[in-house]
Structure 1
Amino acid sequence: MTPERLESSGKTRTPRKTRATALRRRMHAATCLLAGATLASTMLVAAPANAGNHWFTDISETAVPKAECGPGSLPEPGLQGDVSAEDRLSGRSKRGYHCNLTKLGNVTGGGGGIVSASFEHCSYTGSLFPGNNFMPQPGVGIVSAKDPRKPRIVGSLTDTAMRAGTWETLKVNKKRKLLAATGVPFVWGAGFFAVYDISDCERPKLLNARGGGLAHPIPFTSHEGGWSPDGRTYWASGIAPGHLSAIDVSDPRNPRVIWQGLHSFLGHGFGISPDGNRMYLSNMMGITILDISAVQRRDPYPQVRHVAAYHWPDGQLNQHSIPITHGGKPYVITADEGGSGGVKIFDVTRVDKPRYAAQLKLEINLPEHLDTQFRSSMGGSLFGSNPHYCAVDRPTDPTALACSWESSGIRVFDIRDLDRIREIAYYNPPAQKGATVLTRPNSPHVVASIIGVPAIEFLSLGMSLANGRAKLNEMVGPRAGMVVGGDVSTDWCFSPPEFRGNKIFVTCGDGGFYALELSSRVYTPPPDQDSYLG
């Protein structure tokens, strides 16, 4: 194509179509370079040369089938998982959306923190620093849902770690009836650790009054944390540069660090195999598999060995993993917090030769809809529509998977057949539009809403634009100017949705604790139900 000439000036210009093509090519090159550099940096630290590095390069363009909504539902009107810019502006999102999953009861408090935990009929609300300290009952809130239609706050946990902000560290070990968390004031924390006996779930008792408090901190860093299945070890992972610590809680009155190491470019959440010997540790764009058996055995000088690493460009900031057994084979379910990679499932019968078994995406996560997701999410702050924490209804042959999906609410899937996974229900809670730091000091969404741009999606959106799957003009909508100052026009759901028979207990950032009920049309609890998040 020859350049057009501007008659008035004598200058030449490239036609609009040619300029757009050139722009796409430059964007494609830049995005590929960034994605490649990110993957390479992850790989360099994630596993040594003698470990198995596995690349899964495909970008999934298939969504799970939509839930078929029964009577009484208030379904999403558009794309699966989308809360449109128009619904946000009109106030429609304040009514929420639900399909085969209805609210029984709710208690908001000062907001739901980032990750909360539950045990029996109780829920423990994660704390956000410094906001939780300005609530009537500071620290980690205790919610009793003995009557799920009338949940109520019955107290709070106020140890230093609990008031310092628990981020993604607040976890329960059901076997030993213990609740633990580390103090994470903002993204990264160190030193503060608290363990509670929750045998009486409404009246937890602090066990480590000395070790881990303000006067006696423990040497570790954290952003995320969780238990070994037997409850003898609490693992704390620092976000960067991937610092990992094993805290011996055999005697919960005297926790102590027994191993530390640097094992991933970005340490995040994880899942641990039922025998406690293998960790699936989240990294920037994938998971790192570690042999932690020496720590589990309590060897005198334990060594943690890299076994393998799985990498992919379809999704970033892997959040956590759930090891399960399905049909007699071991699998791992893993969720990406950003990048619209959804949830992936791997057959790890041979952990050094994994088989990609399935992937779960909503329509709003597909490459051709990332422009729509950006358009809708603008003004809603950093996060868009991605899974954060998930739980299965039992670790062996699970029948259902429930995930918090950020601005898309709570999503429930039938996973009995891994080749035919389908969505069966969802509940996207009413937006708490108008909430402020004065009314929701413990809401990460309200606090983060000084920023309006869904920045966590930039890399995946850039790849979709570069590949011609998304369109720049489709990104522009009526909320395009909301770069600063979000309006909390959806909720942010981050916590694991936990199964309780045909009910689900979950906490979202703005709306607090919800007791939800699944329709018997779509879900029958297995007799050996045992809600499990890895």
Structure 2
Amino acid sequence: MPKADYQSGRAARGYTCNTRMVSHIGKSGGFKTLRYRDEAGNTCAYYDSSPIMPRDVLGDTLAGVGVVALDMNDPAHPRRTASLVTPAMLAPHESLLLHQRRGLLIAVMGTLATAPGIVDIYDISENCRRPRLLSSTPSGLFGHESGLSPDGRTFWSAGAAGLTLVAVDIANPRSPRIVYSKGGVVYHGLRFSADGRRMYVANIGSPSSTGVSDGGLRILDVSEVHARRDDPQVRVLSDLTWPELAIPQVAEPFTVDGHQYVLEVDEFVDLFSFDGLTNLSESPVGAARIIDVDDPRRPRIVSDIRLEVHQPAYRTDDLFRDPGTVSPGQGYAAHYCSVPRRKNPRIAACSMILSGLRVFDIRDPEHPREVAYFNKPSLPGTTLIPEPGSYAMSAPAWDPRRRSIWYTDVHTGFYAVRLTNGAARLLAP
């Protein structure tokens, strides 16, 4: 979104390809957007409204704080039905998750670095519009990102700067208990193979004044924890890195024709080195990649998912005069990706911050291609944040029956976006 478009007024129209807006609500957003259908047939959306605590809470008080519940029975007219403000929901950072079968909404208290690991668990199965608190306990040690086992019995908290990995038994969600903990690791998002035996770790690695080292994808054997063995052991199966490493965010698993992959996404640029903070044009942008994990001991990258603005050749002084590029924590970089289902998803969506919501055809994992986008920037003077531009940070949620994607923008709130033309056909239920 070039500076000239703000000066001419062109930016006010937004930028779309094979998409149209269904609805918009709210004035702020965070890192997760989730979708759930309850036992009564109601459809709800959930999103965290404050990306970084306590920085954003003052600005968000006008629009409401905590995790927002929306009635999405009519996607064209979303209706806020609850704001969850227990400790973890007030500051979930990147940890908000839900388990579809058990109907549990879970988060651990976190911040930009870490925070005391208060874990909040809500029941959303009977009435998703009015989540019911089951427990709020200091069972996560430290919080920042998270993971949830496929059977919904184990919630994992990644402490990031707290240097902890913690497994919490939530078989009884009213009485969580720690069943495994480890220190000395800097982990981000945690996802799992379908059988729950392997954990795909976005491993931040070892930050230092010269940058991050040893980061990338780490695959762990966590079968003993999930089997509730006495004194469970977690074993490293493999590590994988790449030249454009920034800050690994999450690795979402999926399969294509029986082959196992993860869609890994890096956030921002290398925020841990002096060059990364002061010379954005030279700092690598990790963006995203598809990794073959058929053999968990020998993962291999099969393709990259990058926009032109992520490529070194295009990161010129002119580009960094565009609004929103002055912060290494915003700018032209990626943040989260998701797929609509694990088996043969065909399509993926990524929040790419200034570049908005980007949609990719991944039927051929070795040759992904962009098929749609939706980018609605905030304009100067329209938000409490002085810097205009998009700030798309949330993991997208999916409404396949209506061929729609939901996501939030930090500056402007929640969007329901319908895919059109050939892109819509990729999202068939």
TM score, norm. by length of structure 2: 0.85
Structure with higher strand content: 2
Post-superposition shift, 1:263?
5.8
CA distance in 2, matches of 1:135, 1:168: 22
Partner SS state of residue 207, structure 1 = strand
> Which residue number in structure 1 is paired with residue 242 of structure 2?
312
Q: 2:338 aligned with 1:396, yes or no?
A: no
Within a 5 Å distance, the mapping from 1:292-331 to structure 2 comes to 292-331=222-261
TM-aligned CA distance change 1:368 to 1:166, over 3 Å: same
Q: 2:18 aligned with 1:100, yes or no?
A: yes
Q: Is the contact made by 1:408 and 1:428 (CA closer than 8 Å) also made in structure 2?
A: yes
TM-aligned CA distance change 1:435 to 1:136, over 3 Å: closer
> Which residue number in structure 1 is paired with residue 411 of structure 2?
510
Post-superposition shift, 1:432?
4.4
CA distance in 2, matches of 1:175, 1:525: 25
Q: Is the contact made by 1:145 and 1:515 (CA closer than 8 Å) also made in structure 2?
A: no
> Which residue number in structure 1 is paired with residue 120 of structure 2?
194
Q: Which has the higher contact order (CA 8 A, sep 6+)?
A: 1
TM-aligned CA distance change 1:333 to 1:222, over 3 Å: same
Q: Is the contact made by 2:33 and 2:46 (CA closer than 8 Å) also made in structure 1?
A: yes
Post-superposition shift, 1:125?
2.2
Counterpart selection for 2:389 from 490, 513, 516? 490
* Sequence identity (%): 36
> Which residue number in structure 2 is paired with residue 426 of structure 1?
373
Within a 5 Å distance, the mapping from 1:128-139 to structure 2 comes to 128=50, 129-130=53-54, 131=57, 134-135=61-62, 137-139=64-66
Q: 2:183 aligned with 1:262, yes or no?
A: yes
Counterpart selection for 1:232 from 153, 170, 181? 153
Within a 5 Å distance, the mapping from 1:54-203 to structure 2 comes to 83-109=1-27, 111-120=28-37, 121-128=43-50, 129-130=53-54, 131=57, 134-135=61-62, 137-163=64-90, 165-199=91-125, 200-203=127-130
Letter in 1 for 2:231: Y
CA distance in 2, matches of 1:172, 1:334: 20
TM-aligned CA distance change 1:352 to 1:385, over 3 Å: same
Q: Is the contact made by 1:223 and 1:236 (CA closer than 8 Å) also made in structure 2?
A: yes
Letter in 1 for 2:257: G
Q: Is the contact made by 1:142 and 1:156 (CA closer than 8 Å) also made in structure 2?
A: yes
Counterpart selection for 2:424 from 505, 523, 534? 523
Q: 2:177 aligned with 1:250, yes or no?
A: no
CA distance in 1, matches of 2:372, 2:87: 39
TM-aligned CA distance change 1:378 to 1:177, over 3 Å: closer
TM-aligned CA distance change 1:434 to 1:260, over 3 Å: same
Q: Is the contact made by 2:323 and 2:389 (CA closer than 8 Å) also made in structure 1?
A: no
Partner SS state of residue 130, structure 2 = coil
Post-superposition shift, 1:87?
2.1
> Which residue number in structure 2 is paired with residue 386 of structure 1?
333
Post-superposition shift, 1:194?
0.5
CA distance in 2, matches of 1:248, 1:433: 47
CA distance in 1, matches of 2:383, 2:192: 38
CA distance in 1, matches of 2:63, 2:426: 38
Partner SS state of residue 86, structure 1 = helix
> Which residue number in structure 2 is paired with residue 271 of structure 1?
191
CA distance in 2, matches of 1:99, 1:272: 33
TM-aligned CA distance change 1:417 to 1:98, over 3 Å: same
Which moved further from structure 2: 350-359 or 374-383?
374-383
Letter in 1 for 2:33: S
TM-aligned CA distance change 1:187 to 1:493, over 3 Å: same
Partner SS state of residue 303, structure 2 = strand
TM-aligned CA distance change 1:378 to 1:206, over 3 Å: closer
Partner SS state of residue 422, structure 2 = coil
- The alignment's C-alpha RMSD in Å is 2.0
Structure 2 residues without counterparts, runs of 5 or longer: 38-42, 205-214, 270-284
CA distance in 2, matches of 1:116, 1:220: 25
Deviation string 1:385-414 (CA, Å, 9 cap, x unpaired) is 222111112211221011111110001111
Within a 5 Å distance, the mapping from 1:24-43 to structure 2 comes to none
> Which residue number in structure 2 is paired with residue 206 of structure 1?
133
> Which residue number in structure 2 is paired with residue 66 of structure 1?
none
Structure 1 residues without counterparts, runs of 5 or longer: 1-82, 438-445, 447-486, 530-534
Q: State the structure with more CA Rg.
A: 1
> Which residue number in structure 2 is paired with residue 39 of structure 1?
none
Partner SS state of residue 168, structure 2 = strand
Q: Is the contact made by 2:392 and 2:408 (CA closer than 8 Å) also made in structure 1?
A: yes
TM-aligned CA distance change 1:304 to 1:373, over 3 Å: farther
Post-superposition shift, 1:519?
0.4
Deviation string 1:103-140 (CA, Å, 9 cap, x unpaired) is 0100024x112333332332222142341773464421
Post-superposition shift, 1:359?
0.8
> Which residue number in structure 1 is paired with residue 274 of structure 2?
none
Q: Is the contact made by 1:322 and 1:334 (CA closer than 8 Å) also made in structure 2?
A: yes
> Which residue number in structure 1 is paired with residue 287 of structure 2?
342
